[in-house]
Structure 1
């Protein structure tokens, strides 16, 4: 993932989001179906968004609760994938989403990792990390509070 993001980072600014969204959508086809857009992809920070359109709405014309959870899971998962070495497999260990208020309009999720968290992915064979992820709506408020814990393990099991 990081190699793709690094290459896309060399493209003109206006193309980056579209190209990232298309390429990452090929790895995880459901992302393309949901309409999630990758706005920024870096090793310490990743931003995704979803428009409040009919396909992702609930019965009160807001972004569906499941789509909000998908937004947080996508941002946190991809920022981890930008850092997990190729010899390790990453897995979502736990996901906690508390809906605290009604959302307004389009949604955005920003996931960040610290340098220490990234370092542990390279120096520890297996472990987990609580990824800081903030989901906001058009008003700038956070209608959901999320906790995403991602784990990594060696791809090959010891014999």
Structure 2
């Protein structure tokens, strides 16, 4: 059986550049996330935090961080948090939908946080709504997403 995502995180987070190394591993497994060059800075059951820095490759025509880069960041933290939280031996998950709100221009360094309340009872054929908040370096909320994860029993 493959190691759990949480197990891998716990084994590398204490290393020098451990968060970077873990983030790279996630991006190898799911390559599209690599386009935003995220760093996952915190992971525990029910919570994931990641940051991205503004770079030319993720800018829009007005010089701020592109809306889709923000969606990508939101899906990353929601997915990693869900994977680290759902009991891997009994359940699985897949993203089903996303609603987003662009609240302010996104510039500089963005920090995204996905969080759900625990403990919880995991069911079969359940829609789990994962809220994601994204803040700029001034702690201003610039983006909100509600990502629906479809949870099923194995």
Does the 8 A contact of 2:38 with 2:50 survive in 1? yes
Matches within 5 A, 1:10-159: 11-12=14-15, 14-86=16-88, 87-116=90-119, 119-121=120-122, 124-155=123-154
Please report how far the alpha carbon of residue 128 of structure 1 lies from its aligned counterpart in structure 2 after TM superposition: 2.0
Q: Specify which structure has the higher proportion of helix.
A: 1
CA distance in 1, matches of 2:106, 2:35: 21
Task: Structure 2 unaligned segments of length 5 or more: list them.
Answer: none
The offset of 1:100, in angstroms, is 2.0
Determine the C-alpha separation between the residues in 2 that align with 1:5 and 1:108.
19
**Runs of 4+ in structure 1 displaced over 2 angstroms?**
85-89
Counterpart CA distance in 2 for 1:31 and 1:146 is 17
| Equivalent position SS for 1:97 | strand
Number of residue pairs aligned between Structure 1 and Structure 2: 149
Match of 1:8 among 8, 12, 18: 12
Shift of 1:44: 2.3
55-64 or 83-92, larger mean C-alpha shift? 83-92
1:70 deviates by 0.9
Q: CA RMSD in A?
A: 1.6
